């Protein structure tokens, strides 16, 4: 089982760069890059909420479960 992170897809849909998201959310580019690559082990709800607010999306748009 795996959780797939679709942050890159949402960034492309919103025509936004990772650096821009980083500045608006207040999370480092390095940490967002780790999240984008799916190598993150956990994410704070406050961070997820901030990302969803900036990208105008739902958590399910960013995270996907695949067997």
For residues 53-66, b (16+ Cβ closer than 10 Å) or e, as one string? ebbebeeebbeeee
Residue 32 sits in a domain whose CATH number is 1.10.260.40
| Domain with 39 in it | 2-66
Its pTM stands at: 0.91
For the chain, the domain total comes to: 1
Q: Which of 47, 43, 48, 50 is nearest to 59 (CA)?
A: 48
Q: pLDDT tens for residues 20-58?
A: 999 999 999 999 999 999 899 999 999 999 999 999 999
């Amino acid at each position: 089982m795996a959780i797939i992170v679709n942050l890159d897809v949402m960034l492309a849909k919103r025509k936004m760069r990772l650096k821009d998201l980083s500045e608006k959310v207040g999370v480092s580019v390095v940490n967002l890059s780790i999240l984008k690559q799916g190598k993150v082990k956990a994410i704070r709800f406050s961070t997820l909420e901030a990302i969803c607010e900036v990208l105008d999306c739902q958590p399910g748009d960013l995270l996907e479960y695949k067997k």
